[in-house]
Structure 1
Amino acid sequence: MHDLPADDDWLIERRRAIGAKILAERRHQNLTQDAVWMAAGLTRWTYQRAEYGDEVKISTLLRIAWVLDVPLAELVS
């Protein structure tokens, strides 16, 4: 078992890494943000927050993973 770090910087880094993976996969598939957020049934703001690495719901990440046709584990690993 690991103890949590004294601050939440590690969370910010991990969320940004997830956002970077979403961005990379979207670009790899040559998709626009608009195409992804509309297909995922999200608002533009919610999708942009996920891609930027802000805190989002797991259901948002599941929707994005589904639309991009990648396992959620691949985005969060």
Structure 2
Amino acid sequence: MPTLPDDDDWLLRERRAIGDRIRVKRLHENRTQESVFLAAGVARSAYQEIEAGAADARISTLMKIARVLGVHVTDLLRN
């Protein structure tokens, strides 16, 4: 049976990758963090932690962010 990567390391890498995709899309749209979290109805600190990869995000929160950025939520989740 193949071994899985350490859960903590894997989760951290995945969260950072999602945050990176959000940041890249936000910058591509020439938007500030503030314009996104306000439009999405997400608290400033929660948004900043999600974009930094420092916090888990609820799928509903990611869906709101994706909608503001004009992408489907799966675009934020895909590698």
Q: Structure 2 length as normaliser, TM-score?
A: 0.87
Count residues with an aligned counterpart.
Answer: 76
- Sort the Cα spacing of 1:50 and 1:6 in 2 relative to 1 into closer, same or farther, 3 A: closer
Runs of 5+ consecutive residues of structure 1 not aligned to the other structure: none
Q: Deviations over 1:34-63 (max 9, x none)?
A: 100000011111111110112121111111
- Sort the Cα spacing of 1:6 and 1:37 in 2 relative to 1 into closer, same or farther, 3 A: closer
Runs of 5+ consecutive residues of structure 2 not aligned to the other structure: none
**Identity among equivalent pairs (%):** 49
1:71 maps to 72
2:16 maps to 16
- The CA distance in 1 between the partners of 2:28 and 2:20, in whole Å, is 12
Q: Structure 1 length as normaliser, TM-score?
A: 0.89
Q: Which moved more, 1:46-55 or 1:23-32?
A: 46-55
Runs of 4+ in 1 over 6 A off after TM superposition: none
